[in-house]
Structure 1
Amino acid sequence: MTRYLYLYLAFFLLTTSCRKFLNVQPQQQVDASVAITDAVSAEAAVNGLYNRLGSDGYYGSNFISLSYLMGGDIQWTGSQSAPSQIAARALTADNSNIASAWMAIYRTILSANYIIDIVPRLTDPLLTEAKKNQYQGEAYFIRALAYFDLARAWGGVQLITSPTYSKTDQEGIRRSSLAETYAQVLSDLDKAEALLPATVNRNKATQKTVWALKARFYLYQQDWVKAESYASKIIDDAANYKLLKPYNAFFANNVTATAESVFELAYSTSFKNGHYNWWLPPALGGRREWAPNNNLVTLLNDPAIGGNRNSLIAQTAPPGNLWYGKLYYRNPTGTDPAYLMRVAELYLIRSEARVKQTKLTQALTDLNAVRDRAGLSPATAATPEAILLAIENERRFEFAFEADRWFNLVRTGRVSSVLNISDPNKFVFPIPISEIIADKYLDPNLGY
């Protein structure tokens, strides 16, 4: 752990509100053992944890952008060097966006660690055992997601699983292997699954949210049986989760928390999702420094390929005629959700897992469910290879502006042929140079 990460100890803004996420001030430092003292402050701490997850450095902007800027379909139209370097897939260890994402994820982990440590020891009679379990389960789930994201982006990392109250508390920790990091993810998911209720909440972790992330986890582990099983737990719950028609029904007209969403982060006018600012053109109040490139625009506008997913993009009026992304559009409020897991992903996970088990007919059924809701005719692929390629293409358009494309290509071993990146060292991001300088125990990724 870096010597100065302790400067970002969790700050939990105490509030009596249980319905709104907190606007956490990430650089303010307090002793969490004092801040979390009763039922009200425990709830506030958990709400603040979701703010960590939705911060600009994490799912509010930078971490997601690493995937779609690296994925080859999004262009950088601004002048800043860090995102330009990402879009060109020419990363260096001093890239500020990489450092921002890394730090934001570890801040999230540190905050989760306090909740896991302190909440079980609270004695407030208003804090029932069920609530204690729920808060711990949410913290375990979010910590699992954070380590999962670190693993798929940077490989094996330093595992910090206890609170950090001083700069020496976690000193001397070396990076764990990738397998050990994923083992930590599974351990946390198992704990969360046992503690959380089996309810439906699209903005917070429940047992069902755990099942969805486990499906993704087992896909990455190539455990096809379990990936299929956990995906089915969500898909088969048709009363609560389903694909919506048309494609934009999960985000158009200011809707939130639809049956399409398994887990999305809520934002407000006081806690904004930064994506809209980067995607919307100046005519609509944004900066349009991330934009679909010409190839993606052409593909999405082809009815035989994009179907009705061309609703993801729009064009400004003349004389500009600028194409822009329209998933994050709620200007000027910035209250667009951040979509972390949707039902469509579970269908595509199960489709791939079934291909790998030679259940081709069932795999096509899942794939075609996603295509049908996008207004596309059924896929005609007949071989395992052809179906897997079709799944890859559906992911490309289905999650064009979400954190999927780059990580999926790396996971499937397709990044070399699709993006012409042959150096395996470049399949992971560099460890920020600021972290390496600050922590003598933190080794860099090879090639950076």
Structure 2
Amino acid sequence: MKTTLNQYIIRALFVLSVIGFGACESFLDLKPTNSLLADNAVYDAKTSRALVNAAYSRLKSYTISPAIILAVIPADNVFFGGSLSQYLELDNNAFTVTNSAIVDAYRSNYSLINTTNWAISEIPKVTDESFAAGEQNKLVGEAHFIRAFAYFSLGRSWGGVQLQLNPTTDLSSLGNIPRSTQAETYAQVLADLNTAEQLLPDDDNTTRNLVQRAIVRAFRAKVYLYTQQFDQAETEATAVINNPKYELVKPYNAFFQAPFLTKESVFEISATTNNSGTSGSPWFLASGTPRGSYEYRPTNEIITLLNDPAKGGGRNALIATRGSDTYGNLYHTTSPNINPAYVIRIADLYLIRAEARVRKATPDYAGAIADLNAVRSRADAELFPTGNIDRAAILQAIWDERRLEFAFEADRWYDLVRTEQAETELGVSRNFWLFPIPQADVLADPDLGGENNPGY
């Protein structure tokens, strides 16, 4: 199936390039074949920018839908109220090798990776004086970050995966890519983030929807948390928290009110009336205004927690009530849909640092509690007792805080797996903490050896 996927990517990039630049003679001279000719397709600053823009577009497509579906529906904050079998399977933690939502997410990441592989490979070869100073490096740095994001998504969802690091030029370039371990996959993520940081220019004080060095450090803190490198996670999170560009905004719902892009957002992928974002439709009730399909429904447990002033505080803004029904209110617009994708917020950095401070070799309980209470204070929730130095209690409080703070964002399922709570909280055995690799890929790709993840 990889062959079919990469052929699609190649043709899609060709179409994007033609649409982006009109009747450019050198593009019209290209013959659509099974491969994108590197020395013709990316040949100047304009085509280089288009290629990275295509990567951002694919990143946005993933973050506004598949990322949320995989993180939210299998967990305990939302249940699926519709009839589509692929989502019912996710909701019941009955993951199958042919589940179309899982297949789409898996292949979307590889589509994104191949786009960035082209950018990383070809943009450095371009000679064009119309590039702004440092722009060429910046574009390649952005591509490295986006590839890191895709491999992180694959790693935490499927474990070790095949690391395709070169663009698909023809059918012969698809073979001999064995499956890596999860540790090797995360190592590739960190390598890409380190390269991105070196290539990107200094941050500006306003941009939140394009990759910058601070975004790299924020994301690297998260990867270090997943790989249990807690000292490094603390260092990276601290660097972002200390950046005056970011702060916890009040009230809590200020970050998800138009026009968005508040100081809360470290990385937020914007939407416009002409370029829609995360859909609010599945969350809204089927009657009244705004109207939706009401397929993603908050569970009674998360409703109770969010409505508890001591625990939820101002985060009860994440839900709204119409009649006797309660619905999710984070993605609060339908048409025109201008909800952004919240990739990482400064609140995440506080809770990453809090957890890292508890779990590192020499714990800093006071610092962890201060970070936890910074998030609770912003939400007007009850503060954690500063004199409590019970490690297990502090850690559980941080994990519980993550559940509330990011209730409908792309984290809950992965947090339960990462913290090894998926069995106790959801009844899902360890064999099913990773999603299955699509069966068609396993059968068609000899490099996978016919093997899937344990349990499938």
TM range (shorter): over 0.9
CA apart distance, 1:166:
2.4
Contact 1:32-1:114 within 8 A present in 2 as well: no
C-alpha separation in 1, matches of 2:274 and 2:239 = 35
CA apart distance, 1:263:
0.4
C-alpha separation in 2, matches of 1:141 and 1:400 = 26
Instruction: Report SS of the residue matched to 1:431.
Output: coil
CA apart distance, 1:269:
2.8
The one-letter amino acid of 1:144's match is A
Contact 2:209-2:267 within 8 A present in 1 as well: yes
What's the counterpart of residue 278 of structure 1? 282
What's the counterpart of residue 354 of structure 1? 357
Note if 1:226 corresponds to 2:232.
yes
Note if 1:370 corresponds to 2:340.
no
What's the counterpart of residue 404 of structure 1? 411
What's the counterpart of residue 192 of structure 2? 188
Q: Within 5 Å, give how 1:13-24 maps onto structure 2.
A: 13-14=16-17, 15=20
Q: 1:102-139: CA deviations, max 9, x gaps?
A: 11111110000000011000011112451111000000
Instruction: Report SS of the residue matched to 1:4.
Output: helix
Instruction: Report SS of the residue matched to 1:350.
Output: helix
Of the three residues 82, 86, 102, the one matched with 1:82 is 86
C-alpha separation in 2, matches of 1:83 and 1:363 = 37
Q: 1:257-313: CA deviations, max 9, x gaps?
A: 110000011122333224312222223232121111111111111111111101001
Note if 1:394 corresponds to 2:405.
no
Of 141-150 and 410-419, more deviation after overlay is shown by 410-419
Q: 1:197-221: CA deviations, max 9, x gaps?
A: 2214211111111000110011111
What's the counterpart of residue 454 of structure 2? 446
What's the counterpart of residue 55 of structure 2? 49
C-alpha separation in 2, matches of 1:113 and 1:288 = 38
What's the counterpart of residue 430 of structure 1? 436
What's the counterpart of residue 244 of structure 1? 249
Instruction: Report SS of the residue matched to 2:221.
Output: helix
What's the counterpart of residue 3 of structure 1? 3
C-alpha separation in 1, matches of 2:379 and 2:122 = 46
Contact 2:264-2:345 within 8 A present in 1 as well: yes
Equivalent residues, number: 430
Q: 1:130-155: CA deviations, max 9, x gaps?
A: 11110000000010111011001100
Note if 1:211 corresponds to 2:217.
yes
C-alpha separation in 1, matches of 2:378 and 2:259 = 18
Q: Within 5 Å, give how 1:17-166 maps onto structure 2.
A: 31=36, 33=38, 34-55=40-61, 58-128=62-132, 130-166=134-170
CA RMSD, aligned part only?
1.8
Note if 1:327 corresponds to 2:330.
yes
Instruction: Report SS of the residue matched to 2:266.
Output: strand
Contact 1:267-1:273 within 8 A present in 2 as well: yes
Contact 1:8-1:29 within 8 A present in 2 as well: no
Instruction: Report SS of the residue matched to 1:45.
Output: helix
CA apart distance, 1:30:
7.2
CA apart distance, 1:29:
8.1
Instruction: Report SS of the residue matched to 1:54.
Output: helix
Of 279-288 and 384-393, more deviation after overlay is shown by 279-288
C-alpha separation in 1, matches of 2:417 and 2:313 = 26
Instruction: Report SS of the residue matched to 2:2.
Output: coil
Of 398-407 and 437-446, more deviation after overlay is shown by 437-446
Of the three residues 318, 321, 338, the one matched with 1:315 is 321
C-alpha separation in 2, matches of 1:255 and 1:30 = 41
Of 325-334 and 305-314, more deviation after overlay is shown by 325-334
Of the three residues 331, 340, 343, the one matched with 2:343 is 340
Seen in structure 2, the aligned counterparts of structure 1 residues 35 and 329 have a Cα distance that, compared at 3 Å, is farther
Identity of aligned residues (%): 42
C-alpha separation in 2, matches of 1:114 and 1:408 = 32
C-alpha separation in 2, matches of 1:208 and 1:236 = 11
Instruction: Report SS of the residue matched to 1:169.
Output: helix
Unaligned runs of 5+ residues in structure 1 are 18-27
Structure 2-normalised TM-score? Answer: 0.91
CA apart distance, 1:168:
3.0
C-alpha separation in 1, matches of 2:314 and 2:171 = 52
Note if 1:299 corresponds to 2:302.
no
CA apart distance, 1:44:
1.5
What's the counterpart of residue 289 of structure 1? 295
The one-letter amino acid of 2:241's match is I
C-alpha separation in 1, matches of 2:146 and 2:391 = 34
Seen in structure 2, the aligned counterparts of structure 1 residues 369 and 32 have a Cα distance that, compared at 3 Å, is farther
What's the counterpart of residue 30 of structure 2? none
C-alpha separation in 1, matches of 2:21 and 2:247 = 34
Contact 1:9-1:30 within 8 A present in 2 as well: no
Contact 2:163-2:180 within 8 A present in 1 as well: yes
What's the counterpart of residue 257 of structure 1? 261
C-alpha separation in 1, matches of 2:117 and 2:70 = 26
The one-letter amino acid of 1:394's match is E
Q: 1:418-439: CA deviations, max 9, x gaps?
A: 2222x32201001011222332
C-alpha separation in 2, matches of 1:271 and 1:59 = 14
Of 341-350 and 436-445, more deviation after overlay is shown by 436-445
What's the counterpart of residue 25 of structure 2? none
Unaligned runs of 5+ residues in structure 2 are 23-32
